Copies of this chain bind each other. A is one copy, B any other.
């Protein structure tokens, strides 16, 4: 499991006074950065080899500006060419949102998925285990 702290930006909020639902999609993407680094160590977009197939976000509580959010990220499953990522957002001891996303190892030139190499699988399983 990897933990990351995110401080809400003022424009992550909306006119209802709390964090807008779409900001969680950005935060969860930001919190998947350590996972991206396993695939693309220098994070160079020209070498990108992951594509997102699906996201799910459940909103459990209204989230506020002015207080740090901790995001926990781990892998539920590493398949042949895809992964299921689980994420939780916590603020002030409260579980405010949970997310699930499916990422695919992808060749942008050929526009096809490709198997995840064994050494990357090993790193993923170690670094992003559920506990």
Contact = CB atoms under 8 A, between A and B. Distances in A.
Contacts of A33: 7, 10
Given A9-B30, A45-B15, A22 B25 contact: yes
A93 interface: no
A13 interface: yes
Question: Interface residue tally of chain A, by bracket?
Answer: 35 or more
Contacts of A130: none
A20 B29 CA distance: 10
B11 A14 contact: yes
A14 B13 contact: yes
Given A10-B14, A22-B11, A56 B59 contact: no
Given A13-B15, A54-B57, 12 more contacts: A9-B29, A10-B14, A10-B29, A13-B14, A14-B14, A15-B65, A16-B45, A21-B52, A25-B57, A45-B66, A54-B56, A55-B55
Interface of A: 7, 9-11, 13-18, 20-23, 25-27, 29-30, 33, 42-46, 48, 51-59, 65-67, 108
